[in-house]
Amino acid sequence: MRTVLPIMLATVAALSAGGCARYAQPGDTSKVADSIKAQEAQWEKDYAAKDLNALASQYADDAALGEPGDAVATTDVERRKLIEPLISDPNFKLSFASDRILVASAGDLATSRGHYTITTTDKATSKPVTSSGTYLTVYKKQGDGAWKAMEDFIIPGPAPVAAAK
């Protein structure tokens, strides 16, 4: 019995480590990063098409969407109330791209940080105004394997300076 217990513990430890390793392989995280880049490219197309349903479907049910000056939207109805007036603006244009995507070694969470440029109608002058800034989106892998935004926040201002290599 004394020799069986250590062998059993070693086997359990090896199996556990092997199970975790399948999520931590560099190939897996780069595939996730590529998938998120493709998803964000589609998201940008959905904004260009002003497709509210497609935009709303990018978010998990309990996701948070935050924009400066607005309350954080944490339900589908609240998120749609933030997005709908934006895409209804006749001057609305949005472009964005990730500068950095990080994937958790467990393979269930990822972050995307990038820059955006947006044109909307200035409420005071009724003329188009363009601004830019940074966004940070946290994605969570869903039960069906899809990646949905859990936290999505924008920060107006200059894009981050690229780190020296």
Strands (E), the chain: 59-66, 93-103, 109-121, 128-141, 147-156
Q: Tens of pLDDT along 61-114?
A: 999 999 988 999 999 999 999 999 999 999 999 999 999 999 998 889 999 999
Distance separating alpha carbons of residues 80 and 40, to the nearest angstrom: 18
First to last CA, the chain: 56
> Among 17-26, 80-89, 155-164, which stretch is predicted with the lowest mean pLDDT?
17-26
Which amino acid, one-letter code, is at 120?
T
Q: Tens of pLDDT along 126-142?
A: 999 999 999 999 999 99
Q: Give percent above pLDDT 70 in the chain.
A: 79
> Is this model's pTM higher than 0.95 or not?
no
Q: Are 86 and 70 in contact (CB under 8 A)?
A: no
Q: Are 95 and 117 in contact (CB under 8 A)?
A: yes
| Average pLDDT for the chain | 84
Residue 107's φ and ψ, nearest 5 degrees, are 80, 15
Which amino acid, one-letter code, is at 59?
Y
Quote the pLDDT of residue 9.
Answer: 30
Residue 160 or residue 108, greater confidence: 108
Q: Are 107 and 32 in contact (CB under 8 A)?
A: yes
pLDDT class for 14, splitting at 50, 70, 90? very low
**Domains, the chain, with CATH or none:** 26-156 (3.10.450.50)
Quote the pLDDT of residue 28.
Answer: 77
Residue 124 or residue 161, greater confidence: 124
Strands (E), 34-76: 59-66
User: Are β-strands 128-141 and 109-121 bridged in parallel, bridged antiparallel, or unpaired?
Assistant: antiparallel
Six token digits for residue 10: 């070693």
pLDDT class for 3, splitting at 50, 70, 90? very low
| DSSP 8-state code for residue 159 | P
Tell me: pLDDT of 27 over 70: no
Dmax (CA) of the chain:
83
Q: What angle do CA 112, 113, 117 make, to 5 degrees?
A: 120
